[in-house]
A and B are shown apart, each in its own frame.
Chain A
Amino acid sequence: MNYEPRKTITKSKFYSVFNRHESIFYPYSINFYTFYIALAFYPVNFALQLNYQTTRMKISLRCTLLLCALTLLPASSVLASDAPVLDTGATAWMLTSTAFVLLMVPGLAMFYGGLVRSKNVLGTMMHSFSAMGVMTVLWVVCGYSMAFGPNVLGGWFGWSSDYFMLSGIDETIMAGGIPEYIFSMFQAKFAIITPALIAGAFAERVSFKGYCFFIALWGMLIYNPLCHWVWASDGFLFNLGARGAIDFAGGTVVHISAGVSGLVAALFLGGRKGHTHLQMRPNNLVMTLTGAGLLWVGWFGFNAGSSLSSGLSSAQALTVTQIAAAAGAMAWVIIEGIHRGKATALGFASGILAGLVAITPAAGVVKPGGALILGALATVICYLAIVMKNKLGYDDTLDAFGIHGIGGIVGAIFLVFFIRDSWMTEAATLAGGSWTVWQQLGVQATAVLIAVGYAALGTWIILFVLNKFIKIRSTDEAEMRGLDNHYHGERGYGMINPH
């Protein structure tokens, strides 16, 4: 929840440099893209929020006040500098968190790598690893700017030439007392893991080149705009309702967008050869469990780091993260125990993930009791979704949609029933009197619908166009031989046989 003051101050400084209505790079006339999106959702918006206008005025008033405070206060200080002071405690935790979130990517590589057949283990792990390469480079060149620069093209995404190659933030300390480099790198890890999650949906049948181009385009055209809308101070979802759509650490931006895009991609590419009548069992569940463990640990950086501070809100986020993961895991084992009569290790790992995904958007606002229920509820619904998947017969290979899409939606929607009172009180004040759970539910549903719609449509367009240039699906030969040998020229488990 510390997002607000930090961004208000940091981003406000750009408004003096750039006129927000004047795009430097694009003619003003192409602003209609986002105008249409905004227009399409305006009736929903309007019906939900009677106090919309007042809220916006209050937010902008708050901006102005904070800006005044920022410019006036240091003038009276001895240092006569307007830069916030570095907070070593917050910086230390954010450095740690940033490393933790990166740890999730190899964790995901192991989690996914263990679940495929042995001929595809390296190819699948490379999906996660190559995201670390592709997305980091793109983030430095344009991603950070698109996600956190001031609105351009009517708010479709942001842009600031200051962020190109991160050149303008070399000495910037943000309002929370952390260097902007850390914020930028912390956010970069989210941009890495999101496309890596999608890879689970079309594992074992995608060409390496096609995948790399897909995540590059997806990152730029889907992730960056969504990230901008939800987390940048001038993003339209950030300013929806009394205190914005609640997405503490990436329920909509990361999990819903990855899950839905994965589903679209799985349907677009079709199932694996022999899917449904050939048995395709995980090659190494030991590695999958290790990966799930790394993901759980990394998630503390993901959620508790999203407070962008080292204090009460990080402690609250960390606590509910632990609780929801445990509740999710136990719920899965119990459900599967009743349904199938066995407590499977993969079920435990899946439950951990379902719980973690559901608590991601909610980590800043729910209390431990709510986390227990959210984690367990997410597991119940994800379990049903996967049972349904097997009945419907589409090949979402590693359940990117079943866990991340469904879990993310459950978290983003049901969190409204567990919001702590202080948050609601503040929201009511901002809304000018009252703010109910149902109004927030409307805001959440709007944000989820926008994320689902944008990710689904955008992914389909990217796949359709890209497929004209590069065959995204692997050839039959490559699929039979295995991705490892065909695309990478290596063997994952070469030492098992004499050689």
Chain B
Amino acid sequence: MKFIVAIIRENQLDQVRVALIDAGVSRITVGNVSGHGRQTASEEIYRGQVVVPNLTANIRLEIAVNDDFVDKACNAIINATKANEDGLVGSGKIFILPLEEVIRLRTGERGSSAI
């Protein structure tokens, strides 16, 4: 079992979600986060003052998967975020972590069947 954490652009959530569902991954947690990677954020303007935010808003996806779904999920995210703006810095990252245990609260089930 792996735990996939993906940081993506805000505007690509819809297409990533569609791609993941197509790949058979529908159990997902999504959060609004702010962060700083390698990209320079698109500038914002307030009363004529140009502001380049040093923390930009992104979306964080958290997906717990069984081993045979790791590649499928990652490929789905990679392909979906390539769909536009390829070449621009700041498309995001995927982190894959080992996952020790999963417990389904309702039944107390453990392990890969609880995912």
Flag whether B11 is at the interface (Cβ < 8 A).
Answer: yes
Pairwise interchain contact A498-B44, C-beta atoms closer than 8 A: no
Interface string of A274-300 (1 = CB under 8 A from B): 100010000000000000000000000
Given contacts A119-B10, A476-B84, contact A496 B32 (CB under 8 A): yes
Given contacts A496-B32, A497-B32, contact A119 B11 (CB under 8 A): yes
Flag whether A375 is at the interface (Cβ < 8 A).
Answer: no
* Chain B residues closer than 8 Å to A274, beta-carbon distance: 14
* Chain B residues closer than 8 Å to A490, beta-carbon distance: 44-46
Pairwise interchain contact B34-A499, C-beta atoms closer than 8 A: yes
CA distance A490 to B34 in the complex (A): 16
Pairwise interchain contact A489-B44, C-beta atoms closer than 8 A: yes
Question: How big is the B interface, by class?
Answer: 10 to 19
CA distance A497 to B34 in the complex (A): 6
* Chain B residues closer than 8 Å to A491, beta-carbon distance: 44, 57
Q: Shortest beta-carbon distance, B33 to chain A, in Å?
A: 7
Q: Shortest beta-carbon distance, A151 to chain B, in Å?
A: 46
Flag whether A200 is at the interface (Cβ < 8 A).
Answer: no
* Segment among A263-271, A440-448, A479-487 that sits at the interface with chain B: A479-487
Flag whether B55 is at the interface (Cβ < 8 A).
Answer: yes
CA distance A489 to B57 in the complex (A): 14
CA distance A332 to B14 in the complex (A): 32
Given contacts A477-B84, A497-B32, contact A489 B55 (CB under 8 A): no
Interface string of A451-493 (1 = CB under 8 A from B): 0000000000000000000000000110011100100011100
Pairwise interchain contact A481-B11, C-beta atoms closer than 8 A: yes
Pairwise interchain contact A485-B34, C-beta atoms closer than 8 A: no
Pairwise interchain contact A499-B45, C-beta atoms closer than 8 A: no
Q: Shortest beta-carbon distance, A204 to chain B, in Å?
A: 13
Pairwise interchain contact A485-B42, C-beta atoms closer than 8 A: yes
CA distance A476 to B46 in the complex (A): 25
Flag whether B100 is at the interface (Cβ < 8 A).
Answer: no
Q: Shortest beta-carbon distance, A55 to chain B, in Å?
A: 58
Given contacts A477-B84, A497-B32, contact A489 B12 (CB under 8 A): no
CA distance A494 to B53 in the complex (A): 11
Residues of B within 8 A of A (CB): 10-12, 14, 18, 32-34, 42-46, 53, 55, 57, 84-85
- 15 cross-chain CB contacts under 8 A: A119-B10, A119-B11, A274-B14, A278-B14, A278-B18, A476-B84, A480-B11, A480-B12, A482-B11, A489-B44, A489-B45, A490-B46, A496-B32, A497-B33, A497-B34
Residues of A within 8 A of B (CB): 119, 274, 278, 476-477, 480-482, 485, 489-491, 494, 496-499
